[in-house]
Amino acid sequence: MPLVVSDAVVLHVFDYLESSRIVRLATREAGVRSVLARGARRTRTRYGSALDLFAGGLAEFHTKPGRDLHTLSSFDITRSREELATDLGRFTAAAALAELALRFVRDDAQGALYEVIVDGLDAIGVAPESAVTAAGLGAAWRLVAELGFAPALLDCAICHRSIADDEPATFHHRAGGLACERCARVLHGGRPLPARARVHLRHWTGGVPVMAAVADAEARAHQRLLREFLAEHLADGRALRAFDVWESGNWSRT
């Protein structure tokens, strides 16, 4: 069985039989993989806290051709990311990002997607409390862009005319981004997108962090826009449960 040695981060863990766990890993070398950690539930185990959610490290696992579940031989932890587990707002944002990676990143993905996931988790972990939601949105949109589904945000998605920030524009999910005022009259639906929101989206899809806090109402609008875009272009009809919790919860600080 071929051995894979790769940087990895834990995206999901669940118990299996009496003493083992199945772990979903995002890896630099092999995309997203499911591995069996034998004996991981025992009190004395070589894994220790290495397989905690969002932990990063060096994974070694044996792959089985034609199988979806492989065998984990070791996981040497390099970063625990405890900050994501101790704050509900950070945890839900990180869980939403992990869900997107699990749903849409394949097992043949390139290392750039792994970097986007890791950078996103780190950004959520270190963001000021008032900017955690913005960090989560930035991580999610950057992942969408790296997957090849970035929306059109500079030119009209229909006529391809450049759209200035000071002119009206509507975001149409089916069209794949902004529509100018003339094209928007022909299309049905869509959401008017203010200049500030367009700038944020351009930054997020381009990997540029939005340093300022995003107001609660604005953040909720951005979460709704992202969910609708995912439903149109990536989702397969199944619910995004972690994303729904992140979007519906009130994680604002007082």
Residue 243 pLDDT class (50, 70, 90 cuts): very high
Q: What confidence tens digit (pLDDT) does each residue in 32-66 have?
A: 999 999 888 775 566 666 789 999 999 999 998 88
Cβ proximity of 31 and 108 under 8 Å: yes
Helix (H, G, I), strand (E, B) or coil at 222: helix
pLDDT for 251 beyond 80: no
The one-letter code for the residue type at 4 is V
Give CA torsion, residues 186, 190, 192, 198, to 10 deg.
-110
Alpha-carbon distance of 83 to 112, in angstroms, equals: 24
Residue with tokens 């992202």: 226
pLDDT at residue 49 in the model: 63
CATH (one of 1.10.3720.10, 3.40.50.10860, 2.40.50.140, 2.60.40.3710) for 1-80: 2.40.50.140
